[in-house]
Amino acid sequence: MSQEILRKVESRSMKSDAPFFEIGDQVDVHCRILEGGKERTQVFSGTVIAMSGSGTREMFAVRRMVQGEGVERKFPVHCPNVLKVEVKRSGVCRRAKLYYLRDRVGKSTRLAQRRTDPDKRAAAAEALAAKRGQ
């Protein structure tokens, strides 16, 4: 009973158009940044290496290389400051967490590109949306 109440309370703050992406995808995350009285959009590009949580606490971690140094950042999926997530390229991976990419440098950090039907990808996105809307 308490889980149902929690789900109903959480459903108000969840995004109805939450983005669909998978682990191994190259993404651009558009974030709203407030600096004093000004507001701007900052783009963080990288590879999704992990996803965790569920409901409003669902998070994903993105890793990229900046001047030879690895930078990782975690984003909440349903945060209003995350404006959109664009999938640039889908990668093939056989793990739930890609922490092994931390030890790799250069071309070895690239994942093989996933070649899927747009119809199958759309069906997977709809299934995920239905699961999130439980």
According to DSSP, residue 113 is labeled B
Q: Quick one: fold of 15-132?
A: SH3 type barrels. (2.30.30)
How many whole angstroms from its chain centre is CA 119?
21
Strand spans (E) along 1-132: 26-35, 38-52, 59-66, 69-76, 82-89
Q: Identify the DSSP state of 43.
A: E
CA angle 126, 128, 131 (to 5 degrees): 110
pLDDT digits 0-9 by tens, 75-104:
999 999 999 999 999 999 999 999 999 998
**pTM score > 0.85 for this model?**
no
What pLDDT sits at residue 42? 95
